[in-house]
């Protein structure tokens, strides 16, 4: 596994924030102050979840356009309404956002490799072959996939937001060359509070593990 993320460190998967802080620290030690961002990304293998969403596809386009030295971008895409992951990604790249790259650097689009998956499934719905490929090659993980529906019940919100994050963190812990894990998420959610709600993280009466267990309990 990753020597910086030893399985002997139990807090890594019990505490998301500690994990991410550790990864951010490790990334800072790799990226020198005088290094340009595009130089840091040169030769990197990047994994992106949620790549067909608004934020995800903007991220991929920016990486390809501004960091031409990127080696590979693995995009996790799920089938939707009978459309295969590969076809969904092709439609994304055929969209107006990627016009500049298609016209000036069409070869850059070939750096993207589709990994069929499903965020709410075990192991993100990834094949064993793709999981091994991630563990052996990926340097940076961008977790952008999430449900953006404001009408989801608690179980659905946990299934599509909390569980996938935990799943990717577990995968990241096993990724040997990982330098950085970036989680794109809603900053605050405090709908159980009345009156004035400040912009801060309030202590929850239930931990994330308890919430996940309750959501996955078939008796609930």
What confidence tens digit (pLDDT) does each residue in 62-119 have? 999 999 999 999 999 999 999 999 999 999 999 999 999 999 999 999 999 999 999 8
Domain membership of residue 192 (yes or no) is no
What confidence tens digit (pLDDT) does each residue in 138-171 have? 999 999 988 777 677 778 777 888 888 889 999 9
Domain membership of residue 1 (yes or no) is no
Domain membership of residue 79 (yes or no) is yes
Domain membership of residue 97 (yes or no) is yes
Domain membership of residue 191 (yes or no) is no
What confidence tens digit (pLDDT) does each residue in 109-141 have? 999 999 999 988 889 999 999 999 999 999 999
Sheet holding 140-143, edge to edge: 112-116, 72-77, 45-49, 140-143, 180-183
pLDDT at 8 over 50: no
CATH of the domain at 47: 3.40.50.720
Domain that holds residue 102: 11-184+201-216
What confidence tens digit (pLDDT) does each residue in 52-61 have? 999 999 999 9
Domain membership of residue 128 (yes or no) is yes
- State the pTM of this model: 0.78
Domain membership of residue 6 (yes or no) is no
Q: How many domains does the chain have?
A: 1
Percent of the chain with pLDDT strictly greater than 70: 81
Residue of 20, 133, 205, 210 lying closest to 11 (CA atoms): 20
């Amino acid at each position: 596994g990753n020597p910086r993320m030893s399985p002997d460190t139990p807090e890594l998967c019990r505490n998301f924030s500690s994990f991410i802080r550790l990864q951010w620290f490790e990334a800072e030690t790799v990226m020198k102050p005088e290094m340009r961002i595009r130089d840091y990304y040169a030769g990197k293998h990047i994994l992106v979840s949620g790549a067909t969403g608004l934020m995800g596809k903007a991220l991929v386009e920016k990486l390809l356009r501004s960091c031409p030295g990127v080696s590979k971008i693995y995009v996790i895409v799920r089938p939707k309404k009978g459309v295969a992951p590969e076809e969904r990604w092709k439609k994304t790249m055929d969209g107006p956002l990627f016009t500049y790259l298609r016209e000036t650097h069409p070869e850059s689009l070939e750096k993207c490799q589709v990994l069929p998956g499903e965020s709410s499934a075990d192991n993100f719905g990834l094949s064993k072959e793709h999981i091994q490929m991630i563990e052996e090659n990926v340097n940076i993980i961008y977790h952008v996939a999430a449900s953006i529906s404001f009408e989801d019940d608690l179980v659905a919100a946990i299934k599509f937001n909390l569980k996938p994050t935990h799943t990717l963190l577990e995968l990241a812990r096993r990724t040997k060359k990982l330098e950085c894990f970036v989680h794109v998420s809603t900053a605050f959610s405090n709908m159980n509070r009345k009156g004035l709600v400040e912009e801060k993280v309030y202590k929850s009466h239930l931990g994330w593990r308890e919430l996940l267990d309750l959501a996955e309990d078939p008796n609930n």
